[in-house]
Amino acid sequence: MIDFNNASFLKLKSVPNQTFAQMITPILVQGESIISTYQSIRDGVVFTNRRIIAINVQGITGKKKDFTSMPYSKIQVFSVETAGTFDLDSELELWFSGVGKVKFEFTANCNVSEICNFISQHVLN
């Protein structure tokens, strides 16, 4: 499980949805589909139409994995910082009811505004 006191996923880059599809398909519910997928060196974050799934690859071989499910319905507040001239990374911070904050840092080529819009549609409805 994510340590919500120190939850941070850094240097996430956009990757094809198939990257983690085989891993997470068994935990998806009926009608749930992958919207976008991001990966750091080994870890990943998958945005579905119902939740965010953080994948923490553990151990030397990477066979052990931790999956944390964060439903959009539990997001209380979120903040987006877009890339600038010198700071090319974008950041998304999410505060979840009862557990705390998670921070995602995306590389310059990721459209964090699109992610923000998608989350807004789920949180504000």
pLDDT of residue 51: 95
pLDDT of residue 116: 86
Distance between CA atoms of residues 13 and 20, nearest Å: 13
All structural domains of the chain with their residue ranges: 8-123
pLDDT of residue 86: 59
The identity of residue 63, as a single letter, is: K
Which segments of the chain have a pLDDT < 70? 1-9, 84-88
pLDDT of residue 5: 52
- Sequence-distant (≥ 6) Cβ neighbours of residue 75 within 8 angstroms: 94, 95, 96, 97, 119, 122, 123
pLDDT tens profile 13-23 = 999 999 999 99
Closest among 77, 70, 71 to 92, alpha carbons compared? 77
Torsion angle in degrees (nearest 10) through CA of 45, 50, 51, 56:
-50
Query: pTM here?
Result: 0.87
User: Is CATH 3.40.50.300 correct for 8-123?
Assistant: no
**CA dihedral for 31, 35, 40, 42, sign (positive or negative):** positive
As given in the structure block, the two tokens for residue 24 are: 């997470």
